[in-house]
Amino acid sequence: MNVRRTLPQRGLPTIGAWCFLDSFGPDRTAMSVLPHPHIGLQTVTWPLAGHIRHRDSVGSNVVVRPGELNIMTAGHGVSHSEFALLPPAGQTLPVQRGLQLWVALPDTERHRPPAFEQHRELPQVSGSGFTATVMVGELAGVTSPATMYSPIVGADVSCGGDAILPLNADFEHGILVLDGGLAVDGRELPPGPLGYLGTGRTELKVQALPETRFLLIGGEPFDEELLMWWNFVGRTHDEVEQARSDWEAQDGLPETETAAARYGLVPGHGPGARSEAGRIPAPPLPGVRLTPRKRL
Ligand code: MN
């Protein structure tokens, strides 16, 4: 699968509490991600084309489609799997495309129990030259129902020509062009790279090509140093090492013990000879102590 990571970047570990942004596709590769663990974050899944089946250790088993949002709060520990919904035998897989984001949980919230939400209808907002789906947080006075734990915004914006979006000046923001292209402050931004906008903007003025679509992310600058390794967002080497060994300790456990363990059991992926039996093992830790990512 063609995956492009635009956050974290060297010198830019976060935008607000957003700490990870991957774009995948467009291509006809079927997503096939076996159960794996997370701690300390929320995953935000936003399909642009194709349908994904999400299963997790909270007991969720849902399909998410374009326009729908999955939010999984890992807290102290969760595990999940994600698989493209396959067409009937003999038919070609439709084009697959989407965004996977992580939001770091603040220290006061990061040990909470895991949870999952799916939002099949999200609020729309329109303004000067744009329309937007508010995925998380608030934009132009419209608030998403998604449960988040820090001041944040995430929106899927469509525009063409001149557009002006109101912004929260206390937030830093970033934009990722999905289709079309635009210019901000005279600087052109094509699809692909993440544009960082900093803080202090009360509005975002863009000049956009027709039918431009972009992701807007932002939030209050996240002042806690994060230690990100593999699928874990922590604060110290020792807790990440513990998170890793807790996942490895679940390998091969009987189903009842797996269900009671830190990362639980993902329904449909129990031990045994099933086609989807299995899990993603943790990679080895590097031979040095992990350190937080620094903002430049
Ligand atoms: Mn995941």
DSSP secondary structure, 232-293, as one string: EEESSHHHHHHHHHHHHHTTT--HHHHHHSTT---TT--SSS-TT---PPPPPPPSS-----
Q: What is the CATH number of the domain that holds 130?
A: 2.60.120.10
Tell me, in angstroms, the distance from the centre of ligand 1 to residue 156's CA.
21
Tell me, in angstroms, the distance from the centre of ligand 1 to residue 80's CA.
6
List the one residue out of 187, 211, 213, 182 whose CA is nearest residue 198: 187
Tell me, in angstroms, the distance from the centre of ligand 1 to residue 45's CA.
9
Residues 135 and 270 in one domain: no
Residues 171 and 210 in one domain: yes
Q: Which one-letter amino acid corresponds to residue 262?
A: R
**Cα–Cα distance for residue pair 167/242, rounded to 1 Å:** 40
Residue 2: what pLDDT?
85
**Cα–Cα distance for residue pair 59/56, rounded to 1 Å:** 6
Residue 118 zone, left/alpha/beta (φ > 0; ψ -120 to 50; rest): beta
Residues 165 and 199 in one domain: yes
Tell me, in angstroms, the distance from the centre of ligand 1 to residue 72's CA.
9
Tell me, in angstroms, the distance from the centre of ligand 1 to residue 164's CA.
34
Average pLDDT taken over every residue of the chain? 95
Residues 42 and 55 in one domain: yes
Of the residues 204, 219, 234, which one is the last residue of a structural domain?
Answer: 219
Tell me, in angstroms, the distance from the centre of ligand 1 to residue 38's CA.
7
Residue 268: what pLDDT?
85
Tell me, in angstroms, the distance from the centre of ligand 1 to residue 213's CA.
25
When pLDDT is averaged across residues 39-53 and rounded to a whole number, the result is 98
Tokens of 63: 């399909």
Residues 4 and 115 in one domain: yes
Tell me, in angstroms, the distance from the centre of ligand 1 to residue 284's CA.
18
Residues 101 and 238 in one domain: yes
273: pLDDT strictly greater than 50: no
Tokens of 96: 């697959």
Residues 65 and 135 in one domain: no
Residues 114 and 148 in one domain: no
Residues 177 and 248 in one domain: no
Residue 276: what pLDDT?
61
**Cα–Cα distance for residue pair 280/290, rounded to 1 Å:** 21
Residue 184: what pLDDT?
97
Q: How many domains does the chain divide into?
A: 2
Residues 231 and 100 in one domain: yes
Tell me, in angstroms, the distance from the centre of ligand 1 to residue 285's CA.
18
Residues 116 and 230 in one domain: yes
156: pLDDT strictly greater than 50: yes
Residue 271: what pLDDT?
60
138: pLDDT strictly greater than 80: yes
Of the residues 185, 219, 253, which one is the last residue of a structural domain?
Answer: 219
pLDDT tens digit sequence for 207-222: 999 999 999 999 999 9
Of the residues 188, 219, 250, which one is the last residue of a structural domain?
Answer: 219
139: pLDDT strictly greater than 90: yes
Name the pTM for this structure. Answer: 0.96
55: pLDDT strictly greater than 80: yes
Tell me, in angstroms, the distance from the centre of ligand 1 to residue 26's CA.
19
Tell me, in angstroms, the distance from the centre of ligand 1 to residue 235's CA.
19
Tell me, in angstroms, the distance from the centre of ligand 1 to residue 200's CA.
33
Residues 3 and 114 in one domain: yes
When pLDDT is averaged across residues 130-144 and rounded to a whole number, the result is 98
Tell me, in angstroms, the distance from the centre of ligand 1 to residue 54's CA.
10
Domain carrying residue 285 = 1-121+225-296
Tell me, in angstroms, the distance from the centre of ligand 1 to residue 216's CA.
21
Tell me, in angstroms, the distance from the centre of ligand 1 to residue 56's CA.
10
Residue 131: what pLDDT?
98
Tell me, in angstroms, the distance from the centre of ligand 1 to residue 12's CA.
21
Q: Among 50-59, 136-145, 277-286, where is mean pLDDT lowest?
A: 277-286
